Amino acid sequence: MQTGKILRMTGLVWGQIGYAILLVCILDALVALIIWAFRTRPVNELQFADVYNGASWTAQYYREHDSLRVAWHPYVDYIALPYRGRYFNVGADGLRVTSPRKAAAAACRRPLRIFLFGGSTVFGYGVRDDYTIPSWLQRMLDEKSGCAAVYNYGQDGYVSTQELLFLQEQLRKGNVPDLVIFYDGFNDSWVAVQNGEAGTTTDEPYRQKSFRMVNWLHGEDRRLLYESAAFTLLNHSALGEVAKRIVSLLAPGSYKVVQGELVNLRLDDPGIPGAAQDMPSQIVRIYLANTRSAQALAKQYGFGFLSYWQPSVFQKLSLTPWERRQAESDVPAVQTCIEATSRMMSGLAQQYSVIDISGLFRDQTRPIFVDEVHLSDNGNRLVAERMMRDVMPLVAALSSRTKAHPSASAGPDQSSNQRIESSGRN
């Protein structure tokens, strides 16, 4: 008799749980239907940045760029997939298209190959193919009759360590350039704050969790797999989407929905790793270690090397209303870290052969930035003009050595002892 009562109670409990789950599923379906009925095409608000001055091409550009996808790539984590659009194009090699080089002069036996590495600012987020820093550099070299071809090795989100590994991959394949340029600063700082640790890559905690989930050497932590699946299901359900937006509306100073994820904007609160006092020194130390490694490779393989510490909106004294909005919308800890890191780099740049251009736009009054770090067409042009002061003398020197040693024009797959000697700030 007692057993029957327990069974009836158990059945009743499970029945109530089942009804509750069914009601939640019905409610979620109804909310999803409402969201679908009133859905609008996602709009990237950056298309309205003041640097565009109401240009008609921005909406199409951001639709194209926001369609970009990446694929897994050994050591560097990922690389852009090929894409073909009107304003935004990525080749089969994962590199953003650069302005085509003008016909080489008759005396030019082989164009010098310039590889420009960096994150999304080099890749060209916010601008069309012909207005990235590499494209501007290519046109300026053409105008100066510089016999050179510029390649855009920038990738969205890359930090300097990934760039170093990407460069090493090219060298391993025999794809040896004549000049390498690194353009960094913002991502190294932002990612350090995001992860609470300098020298890591974007979204490192997620990659660590994925490794623990499925790697047999770790023991395949299935509990994490199930937890992640449940969290993803709830987070991206219709009710979850509504909940995230309610939280962001109730606490706009603390939370913001970014690309479908609820982001905590208060990373500088006490106890958060990203607020570590010694973070700037760690970032600078790791960046300088990467530049020294690149300088050693330059000496070994015989190419020139230049490294630039980039500007951000936080170094610009006179901000437009749009730029001020972008600066204030970023995580406060990021601004604090970038400003401290830039001050530290300014004092060390010359000693370690880093070219500090973080103050390039300090006195500019016109709009320059699309957001905290990405530049307008004109901003990229000014960066390329600044680079030309260092690049053009190297191109002239490298070209004269190539003419003096015809064997050096054999192509990118030649052995390192046939290459010209390292030149530049090494």
Per-residue pLDDT tens for 21-47?
A: 777 778 777 777 776 676 666 778 999
Whether residue 51 contacts residue 378, with contact meaning beta carbons closer than 8 Å, is answered with yes
Residue 223 above 80 pLDDT? no
Instruction: Decide if pLDDT at 341 tops 60.
Output: yes
Q: Is residue 268 pLDDT above 50, yes or no? A: no
The answer to whether residues 334 and 193 touch, using CB atoms and an 8 Å cutoff, is yes
- Which residues does 402 contact at the CB level (< 8 Å), separation at least 6? 109, 110, 112, 178, 408, 409, 420
The Cα–Cα gap between 422 and 303 comes to 5
Q: Token pair 């080489």 is at which residue?
A: 104
Rounded average pLDDT over 306-310: 97
Q: Of residues 399 and 402, which shows the higher confidence score? A: 399
Residue 240 has pLDDT above 60, yes or no: yes
- What gap in Å lies between CA 110 and CA 253, rounded to an integer? 56
Q: Which of 165-169, 271-275, 335-339, 420-424 has the lowest mean pLDDT?
A: 420-424
The Cα 266–Cα 124 span in angstroms is 29
CA 399/CA 405 separation, integer angstroms = 10
Instruction: Indicate if the pLDDT at residue 408 is higher than 80.
Output: no
CA distance 336 to 189: 10
pLDDT at 353: 94
Task: Over range 230-247, report the average pLDDT.
Answer: 69
pLDDT higher than 70, residue 256? no
Mean pLDDT of the chain: 83
Per-residue pLDDT at 206: 75
Whole-number pLDDT of residue 420:
31
- Determine what percent of the chain is predicted with pLDDT higher than 70: 76
Q: Is the pLDDT of residue 270 over 50?
A: no
* Total-model pTM: 0.81
Q: Is the pLDDT of residue 330 over 80?
A: no
Beta bridge partners of 71: 79
* Helix runs in 127-185, H state only: 133-143, 160-172
Q: What is the DSSP code (8-state) at residue 178?
A: S
**pLDDT at res. 328:** 87
- Asked if 84 and 78 count as a contact pair (C-beta separation under 8 A), the reply is no
Residue 413 has pLDDT above 60, yes or no: no
pLDDT at residue 259 in the model: 56
Residues 158-199: tens digit of each pLDDT = 999 999 999 999 999 999 999 999 999 999 999 999 888 899
Q: pLDDT value at position 185?
A: 95
pLDDT in the model for residue 146: 76
Per DSSP, the residues of 38-104 read T------GGGG-GGGTT-TTHHHHHHHHTT--EEEETTTEEEEPPB--SS--B-TTSPBP-PPPPPP
**Which of the four pLDDT bands, split at 50, 70 and 90, describes residue 251?**
low
For residues 205 and 257, give the distance between their C-alpha atoms in angstroms, rounded to a whole number.
19
pLDDT tens column, 84-112: 999 999 999 999 999 988 766 545 778 89
Confidence of residue 414 (pLDDT cuts 50, 70, 90): very low
* Whether 395 contacts 148, CB under 8 Å: yes
Q: Quick one: average pLDDT of 202-225? A: 71
Three-state secondary-structure class, residue 257: strand
Q: Assess contact for 52 and 62: CB atoms under 8 A.
A: no
pLDDT of 56 > 80? The answer is yes
Question: Span 301-316, mean pLDDT?
Answer: 96
What residues contact residue 112 under an 8 Å CB cut-off, 6+ apart? 146, 147, 148, 149, 178, 179, 395, 398, 399, 402
Higher pLDDT, 383 or 212: 383
Residue with tokens 């360590």: 161
